[in-house]
Amino acid sequence: MINKVFKLVIIILVIIGICFGISITVKKQIPEMKKEESELNIINRVQTRLANVTEIYTYGRALNLSGEVNNISKDNFEGAKLVITDGGEYEEEYTLNYNLEDGKLKFSSDIEINSGIIIDNLENKEYYCLLRLKLNNSAEPKYYSFINTSNYGNIEYYTTTKDGKNRKANIEFLKEEINNENYNFLKINLQDTNLPDDIYDIIIDAGHGGKDQGENAGPITEADVALDYAKSLKESLEKSGYKVKLTRDDENSSTFTETNMYDENGRITIACKSKAKLMISFHINNGVRGLNGFEIYSPSKSNLDFAKEMATKIKEYSSINYSNNNSFKEADGVYVRNYTKSVIKELESTANKKGYEPYNISLDTPYLYTIREVGGIATGAYVDGRNKAYSKNEYYNSNQGIECYQIELGYIKNDLNIIRDEKESYIRAITEAIENNF
C-alpha cells in the first residue's frame, strides 16, 4: 500500500513538472512570436530603399538624428515625419526639419536639441524608428527604415531614477535576416536594470576652485559660495531620489586651475564620465556697477521651458530680482550666449599666431564652456587639444551629451547678502523645477 502511494506521488510530481515546463516554454515563446509578428508588420510597410542616418545623438533625455534619402521628387513631395512604433498598435510621430534639393531629402530632428524622442517617457518594449514621407502620388504614406552611415555607433542610455528604479535603453542599428532576406533596423529597446556605479542622473558643478577662486568680495570667493550651493543642491536632490555627483568637493577642489578642466580628473571630464542627463553649474557674476539679479544661461537651439521654470521659481521663492542685464536675454532671468562674429575672429587670430588650425565655431556655438563642452556634438564642443594651453576634452566628439545650465546666482558686490542668506530658497526653487522636468 505504501509503495502504491509513493508511486502515485511520484507520478503526480512528474506531471506537475511537465506542466510547469510547458508553461515556462510557452511564456518564453510568446514574446518571440510577438517580436516576429512586429518585424513582419514593419517589413510589409517599409520601402526597399533605406534612409541614411548621418548623425545620431542623445542630449539630456532626448534622442535626435539627422539623415537623408535619395530620389525624392520635389514636385511629388508633401512632408516628412520621424515615427517610432512597436510594429503593432503603438505609433508616435515627431516633427522634422527638412529641405529638398536635387532629388535628395535632408532631414533633422534637432529643431530643439533637448526635445525629440524623450526616451524616459517610453514604456519597456522594443521600438522601431522609421522615416515617414507623404507623397502626392500615393494615398498612403511611405515608410523608410534607417541604415547608419554616420561616424557614430550604438548608444547605451540609462533613464533618470524614478522611485528607486532605472531602465536601460539600447539604441542600436541592426541587420537581421528574416525569411532569408536581410533587413536593416534602427531599434530602441528598453528594459529594467540597475544603474551602474559610475552612472548618475544629475551632475552639479561648482564653478572655479583651487587656484582659480573666481570673483571675490573681500574674503568671500565665488568658488567657495558655488561649492556651498552645489553641496546643498546635491543633498536636496538625493532626498528626492536622484543619484547625484559633484564635479568638485572638499577633497579635490585644491587641485583645480583655470586650464585643467579637461584633464583626466578635471571638472568637464568628471561630468562627461557620469553620463548624467542634467548638469547645473553654479557661478556668481562680477560687480559691474548698476547690474544686479540672477541669470540662467541655457544651451542654444534648445527648448527653454525648464530654464524659464527655474527662473520663475527662484524669483517667487527668494527676494533676488531677475537680472537687469539685457545682453543675450531671451526671457526674464533666462539667457542664451553664443559666440559673436568679433569673438570668432579673435579666436581665429589667436590660432593663426600660435600655429594651429582655427576651431570650427559658428554663431550657434555656446560661448560658455560648461554648457558647450559637456554637450558633445549636440552643442558643438570643440576642445580637441590643438590649443596647447588646454588639454583635450576626450568627450568633445561624443554623441551622448549632458543638458547643462549655468546659474549666475547674482552679482557678487550687489547681491551677495541675498545669495548668502537665501540659499535655501534658491535650492528649493531649483529642486522643484528639476523634479517637474526630469
Here the CATH number for the domain that contains residue 105 is 2.60.40
Residue 166 near residue 201, CB atoms below 8 Å: no
Whether residue 49 is found in the same domain as residue 159:
yes
Task: Indicate the residue among 134, 158, 193 that finishes a domain.
Answer: 193
Same domain membership, residue 347 and residue 384: yes
Q: Which of 154, 176, 193 is the last residue of a domain?
A: 193
pTM of the model as a whole: 0.90
Q: Which of 268, 56, 51 is nearest to 155 (CA)?
A: 56
Q: What is the pLDDT of residue 17?
A: 54
Instruction: Look at residue 10 in the predicted model and tell me its pLDDT.
Output: 56
Query: What percent of the residues of the chain are helix, what percent strand, and what percent coil, each to the nearest 5?
Result: 30, 30, 40
Q: Does residue 25 lie in a domain region?
A: no
Specify the pLDDT at position 406.
Answer: 98
What is the arithmetic mean of pLDDT over 380-388? 96
Who has greater pLDDT, 146 or 29? 146
Q: What is the pLDDT of residues 269-308, one digit of tens each?
A: 999 999 999 999 999 999 788 999 999 999 999 999 999 9
Confidence of residue 23 (pLDDT cuts 50, 70, 90): very low
Could you give the number of structural domains in the chain?
2
Q: Where are the alpha helices (DSSP H) in 64-154?
A: none
Domain presence at residue 17: no
Residues 306 and 171 in one domain: no
In CATH, what number is assigned to the domain containing residue 225?
A: 3.40.630.40
How does pLDDT run across 260-270, given as a tens digit for each residue?
999 999 999 99
Q: Same domain, yes or no, for 348 and 262?
A: yes
- Per-residue pLDDT tens digits for 385-428: 999 999 999 999 999 999 999 999 999 999 999 999 999 999 99
- Same domain (yes/no): 150, 222: no
Position 32 pLDDT exceeds 50: no
Residue 220 sits in the same domain as residue 362: yes
* Grid cell for residue 225: 559660495
**Of the residues 193, 213, 236, which one is the last residue of a structural domain?**
193
pLDDT of residue 13: 52
Whether residues 303 and 380 share a domain: the answer is yes
Q: How far apart are CA 425 and CA 427, in angstroms?
A: 5
Q: Is there a single domain that holds both residue 233 and residue 99?
A: no
Domain that holds residue 389: 202-437
